[in-house]
Structures are given as C-alpha cells and as structure tokens.
Amino acid sequence: MFRRTISTVAVGMLLAAGSSQAAIPLDLSGVANARFDSTGFIGGGSYPTGSPLVTFDGIDYRLPATGNYMWHSANQFVGGIPNPRSVTIPVNLFGIDLVYTLMGTWWGEKAAGSLATITFNGSGGLVHSLDLDGGVHIRDYNYNPTYTTTLDPLITRQVWSNGTGPGSQHVDRQRFDLPAAFDNATLESIVLTDNGSDGVQRAFIAAVTLQPVPEPSTWASLAAGLAVLGALLTRRRHRMSHLQSSSR
C-alpha cells in the first residue's frame, strides 16, 4: 500500500515538474535570407526540415520545408555590406530562462578568438552578451580538419550530421542560460553580430527556441508533492520501526 501510494505521489511530482510552459520555437522568416537545403551547401539535400518543426535532442526548432528560415552573413548572399554584419531577432516575451539556437559558420576559424557576438536585450535595460569563439561555441558546418573543432560542452553540442569525414556536414546546438534577472523581465530581442570575412568565419543562425521559466503553480505543485512524499516516508519509517520493536 505504501509503495503504491509513494509511487503515485512520485508520478504526480514528475508531472508537475514537466508541466512548465512549453518551449517556443521562433519564426525567423521575418529576418531570414536563405535556407540550407536550397543553397547547395548541404550535400545531397539531406538537411532535415519539417512541417514546420524538427526535433533535435528533445528540443523543437522551426525549420520549415518551404521558405527562408535562416540568417547568415556570408558575403555571397549579402555582398557589399561592411562589418559588422548583424541581425536583430525580435522576441518580446516575458520570463525566458533558456535560449537554444542552431548556429555555425560558413568558414571556420583557424586561431583562437571571437569574431561573432550574441546579445540578449531585456526590458529595463537588461543586456547579456557572449563572445562566440569559432570552434568553441560555433564552428564550420563542414567537417574540415584545418579549423578548430573543440566545443564548449556547457554551451555547444552536435545534434545532427549526415556523415563523418570530408564532405559531410553537421548541425550544432547552443544552449544559453540567461541571468536570473531575465526571469522577471521581457526578452525584447536577440542580436547576432558577425565580424568575420570571406574565408575566415561568417556566422549564421538557423533557428531559435525559447524556454520560459516554470510557472509559479508548477513550483507549488512540486513543493506540495515533496511535502506529501516526505510525510509518507516518515510514516513508513515509524511503522517499520514499530513492527521491528513488536517482533522482538
């Protein structure tokens, strides 16, 4: 009886923990200027697209099968624009905790250093920026041994590839944990700025998905579940102790 009750409470706690607001895949078509699978960059047209969502590592991203969905600063597409080249992605959503992106470069970076920056702008003057080091946070989408490929595991991980070795490509996901101040503010925009050049890193951003902070009711439900579970476990210990004393 106790085991069934405790199991029921545990399931309830898990459901409560999982009932936080759903992730929000952004539509970048308003700032997009191309798509991977129509430019010939991804060999064999194997870049995954959806209708319109694609799931990588449990996170949904908006990569529709039609229309442009990504922004990039590569010169052959937006030629003639001097550095810095940047894109501002409007957000205007309250209480964003995590930001997931699919980013990379058209050309990698052969030396340590940063030629790109991502900035999160919030209400009340909140600003959070991170320099994106080529080969650490973002890297060439091609497998190319001449470019650095050591990724920061706290931020970047590979989530898709169409093979290994020369001639194959991959997609990297970045995870940005925003400062606590953004929990009670509006994330107004995300800005990606590129200072590379042809042959030396040109950054792109293919998708953005936002994770809001859990709703207060979620924390309340979880706290209540923990309290009940604690009471049940205490009661069970007392009962077991009593039974052991009685059997002596």
| pLDDT number for residue 218 | 43
Whether residue 117 has pLDDT greater than 90: yes
Helix axes 2-17, 216-246, angle to 10 degrees: 160
Q: Distance between CA 85 and CA 119 in Å, rounded?
A: 14
Most confident range (mean pLDDT) of 12-26, 155-169, 179-193 is: 179-193
| pLDDT number for residue 224 | 52
DSSP structure string for 133-201: EBTTTB-BSB--TTS-----TTTEEEEEES-SSTT-BEEEEEEEE--GGGGGSEEEEEEEEE--BTTB-
Q: Distance between CA 206 and CA 215 in Å, rounded?
A: 28
Q: Does 136 or 185 have the greater pLDDT score?
A: 185
* Amino acid making up residue 72: H
Q: pLDDT per residue over 192-241, tens digit each?
A: 999 998 888 899 999 999 999 986 544 344 445 555 556 566 666 656 55
Q: pLDDT per residue over 73-91, tens digit each?
A: 987 677 778 899 999 999 9
Domain map (residue ranges) of the chain: 1-20+223-248, 21-213
Q: Distance between CA 145 and CA 110 in Å, rounded?
A: 10
| pLDDT number for residue 193 | 97
| Chain-centre distance for alpha carbon 174 | 5
Q: How confident is the model at residue 21 (pLDDT cuts 50, 70, 90)?
A: confident
May I ask the CATH class of domain 21-213? mainly beta
* Amino acid making up residue 237: R
Whole-prediction pTM: 0.80
When pLDDT is averaged across residues 106-110 and rounded to a whole number, the result is 85
Q: How confident is the model at residue 11 (pLDDT cuts 50, 70, 90)?
A: very low
